[in-house]
Each structure stands twice: as C-alpha cells, then as structure tokens.
Amino acid sequence: MKTKAEYIESMRKMHFELYMFGERVTNLVDDPIIKPTMNCVAATYELAEKPELEKVMTATSHLTGEKINRFCHIHQSIEDLVTKSKMGRLLGAYTGSCFQRCAGMDTLNALSIVTYDIDQKYGTEYNKRFLKFLRHVQENDLVCDGAMTDPKGDRGLRPAEQADPDQYLHVVEEAQDGIVVRGCKIHQTGAVNSHEIVAMPTRAMREEDKDYAVSFALPADTKGIIYIYGRQSCDTRKIDSPNMDVGNIRYGGQECMVVFEDVFVPWERVFMYKEWDFASDLVEKFASYHRQSYACKSGIGDVLIGAAQLIAEYQGTSKANHIRDKIIDMIHLNETLICCSLACAHEGHKEPCGTYFVNTLFANVSKLNVTKFPYEMARLAQEIAGGIVVTMPSEKDLNHPKVGEYVAKYLKGSEGIPIENRIRIIRLIESLTVGLGAVCYLTESMHGAGSPMAQKIMIGRRANIDRMKDAAKRLCGIDS
C-alpha cells in the first residue's frame, strides 16, 4: 500500500494535459488551487496507515490475499458493504470535503459484476481482462476516476440521434490491437488526482446506440486525454486568503471536463464493446453503489453540526432553547442519512460472480434523502450563525493597519473567545453552505450519482406496490 507521501510523489510523475483559467497547468502538486484537493485524496492513504483504523480503511484482496486499501477492494461480504459506509462517514468528517475515490471504487465493483454477466451470455473474456486490471490497481494502490457522465447534447435525443455524435463517448475506429474513442466525460470528481480513468456508458442503450456501449480503463495521463478544470465558487480564495477566508484551510474537492480526442485503447483494457443490452445494468449497478457512497455527506454533516454548535457558543446563544432545538434537528437529519446508507448495505446480497451488491431500493432512498437533508441542515446552520455568514469583512481587512482594529472590535462575540476563532468558524459555515465547500456538500448532494428524479424512478421500479395493495385488501376484506 502507498503512503500519503508516496501518493503525492506518484502524482508528481504524471503528465496531464490540464487547462485552468485559460492557461496550461504543468505543476499540479504545488498549484494552490489543486493542492488542497490532492491533500484530500492523500488523506485516504494517510488514514489507511493508522493501526486503529485498519479494519475500516483496509481490506484483504480476494485476488492476492494481501492487505490493500479499501478503495481498491471488491466487496466480499455484507460486512464489507457496511464498512464502506462507515469509511465514508469517517473520511467526510476528517476532510470536511469530497475525498474523490468513491466513484472509482464503485466503478470497480460494478464492473466486477457486469463483466462476469456479459461473459456468461456471450462467451467473452471481459471479466478476465478486468481482473488483470484490478490486480494492477490493487498492487499499486491506485486512484481510479469512475467516468460515467456524458455531456448528452440534446437530452430529448438518444446517443445515435445526436447531431454531434461526440456528445456521448463512443468508438470511432476498431483496429487489430484495440479501439479508438472520442467524446467527453463531465463533472469528473478528482480526475486530475487519479492514476486511472475508467469509463462507462451513461445510460441505457438500444442496438442503434451500440458504438456508445463501451467501457475501458486508461492511465489518466494517456495522450489525447485533455482536462479542463471546473470553476468553483470562491475558488481563488485559496490564493488570495488561504489562511482564513477559504474556510476549510486543509482540504477541498475538484471536478473536471475530460475530453477524449481520438484516444487509443488496447483490447486488454476494454471491458465492454457494443454489448448495448448490458449498458443499463452497468449504469444501475454503479448508481446503486454510488448512492450508498453518499454516507460521506453524514461525515461532512458532522463538521457542519460541530461548527453550528461552536458559533452558538462563540456568540452566546448556545443555551437558548430554539438554538438547541435546531442543533437536534440537524443531528436527526444527519443520523438518518447514515442509517439509510447502512440499511442498504445490511440488506445487500451476493451476485453470481461473488461480489456483494447493495439493496437497490434502499440505496436510492438513501440518496434521495441526501438531495434534501443537507440543504435543510445548511439552512439551520445559517440561521444559527446569522447574516454575518455572508457580510463579514476579509482577512486582509482584519490585518489592515487602520481598519483592522474596527473589524476586531465589532466582530467580537462572547467574552474570552478570540476574535479569530469566531471568524474561522463563520468562514467554515460559509464555505459549507454557500461557498467553496458547498460544491462538495450541497451541489454534489443534489446531482452526484444522479439527480432526485433518477432516484425516484428507481424507487418506483423497485418498490413492491402489489405487496402493499394485497396487504390493504386482506385487512379490509377485499378478496380479488
């Protein structure tokens, strides 16, 4: 397993074609915008080194019998599924941000199931290829970017109907030694902090869409893969005022647009090729795993609850009944999130390939809650903190030779609380609810792993309405 330092050094050796703010970025590791996001991924290595967290952060490879980072693991039991949820909460609280490895882990597990199922139907060797790739990932403790979301162009048209065929990633050429792909994956969390890009279809396909039914893995710095860094609210605070105004001074998340400009993929790295009838299954398997992964939001919720309690204490309102009531409401909502994630793990089952899979209905209920509860918690935190969350002067004003004394004087709260402490907590609440950190906590909660309607569709499909109707009929005496 890699150490935190070894991970960062491995990223220094990568050669991404990355653009940010209209300029080419050549030094990712030391870039002030990217560095906090890389630190966030590094935390997944750091905690795996701690003996007291070994059971949560590591697992035993079913391929080699060696101890590996849990993010590289294929679930072998209900206990593995449960531990995954606990790991998500742990890291969410530790980083207060998106630690960027969940999508890759969920992709690996989904592919372990679907490649096996394709082979059973068509006699292909996708699972053999996948397991070889998985061994490479485990033995080198690699970060994988699970790349599913396509731009989609005109949402009213299917992939093969688009005026611009590149709106969905697709195969443009087939050769003896591999395929050539073109297109784009967007909203890619942690893409330039990853060693490997693992692409999947983004939706169900029909036979006419078969060129879009493709899954593969490539080193993230493969020639022809171009990264365009996503702009985030308040992102330049990392440069202008990294000590205080940024809120979370240690960690952060990132998203990229990832362009594939006629990129070659060798056959040994291809895990689906025109098996259009399995595209929906791969999407559903990945989505269910990833909706379970939003246990991480309960960890970030822990941070927000802690910050709300602290600001109440710093401002002298913590003993007010309505403040205590709001804190309890936040705790209730947050614990409900982790309860649902754990439930879908406890109700999981073993697939024919041997991989354990979550309960799809409960996973979707879990994620639908995530699209709502963090927003209510953010509202409560803002109510507790007050309007100062969005009106406070900057760190530079606090340190100004003339106006600094006024800022310090009039931002004073409870006696004995350093003014800097109050400012830091307010900035953290701002970041998590309206600023830079809100990308990971709120926007990801809404759209990550699919928007609310995607979960509602799956809940409608998976809920056994007939069973409920039969129960109602029996109790009121309806026979037919």
Q: What was the pLDDT predicted at 480?
A: 81
Residue 158 CB contacts under 8 Å (≥ 6 apart), including other chains: 206, 208, 209
- Under DSSP, is residue 349 helix (H, G, I), strand (E, B) or coil? strand
Average pLDDT in the 460-464 region? 95
* Residue 242 pLDDT class (50, 70, 90 cuts): confident
Q: Determine phi and psi for 125, rounding to 5 degrees.
A: -125, 35
Q: What is the DSSP string of 283-314?
A: HHHHHHHHHHGGGHHHHHHHHHHHHHHHHHHH
Q: What was the pLDDT predicted at 241?
A: 85
Structure tokens at 42: 């590094």
Tell me the pLDDT tens digit for each residue of 146-189: 999 999 999 999 999 999 999 999 999 999 999 999 999 999 99
d(CA 88, CA 296): 4
d(CA 200, CA 280): 10
Whole-prediction pTM: 0.96
Q: Of 15-24, 157-166, 336-345, 434-443, which gets the smallest average pLDDT?
A: 434-443
In which region does residue 123 sit, left (phi positive, over 0), alpha (psi from -120 to 50) or beta (all else)? left
d(CA 2, CA 361): 36
Residue 403 CB contacts under 8 Å (≥ 6 apart), including other chains: 393, 397
Share of the chain above pLDDT 90, in %: 99
Structure tokens at 204: 């169900």
Could you tell me which residues are beta bridge partners of residue 360? Answer: none
d(CA 117, CA 354): 11
Could you tell me which residues are beta bridge partners of residue 226? Answer: 17, 259
d(CA 225, CA 189): 15
> Which amino acid would we find at residue 221?
D
Q: Domains along the chain?
A: 4-69+97-285 (2.40.110.10), 291-462 (1.20.140.10)
Q: Determine phi and psi for 365, rounding to 5 degrees.
A: -60, -45
> Which amino acid would we find at residue 186?
I
Residue reference for tokens 């308040």? 234
Contact between 282 and 214 (Cβ < 8 Å): no
d(CA 93, CA 428): 13
Q: Where are the alpha helices (DSSP H) in 347-451?
A: 360-370, 373-385, 395-398, 404-410, 419-433, 438, 444-447
Structure tokens at 361: 């209905």
Q: In what order do the strands lie in the sheet with 144-147?
A: 144-147, 196-199, 214-219, 270-273
Has residue 106 got a pLDDT over 90? Answer: yes
Q: What was the pLDDT predicted at 156?
A: 96
Residue reference for tokens 């004995």? 416
Question: Which positions are annotated as active-site residues?
Answer: 98, 102, 189, 255, 290, 294, 296, 444
Q: What was the pLDDT predicted at 404?
A: 97
Has residue 280 got a pLDDT over 90? Answer: yes
> Which amino acid would we find at residue 428?
L
Closest CA to 148 of 422, 381, 454: 454
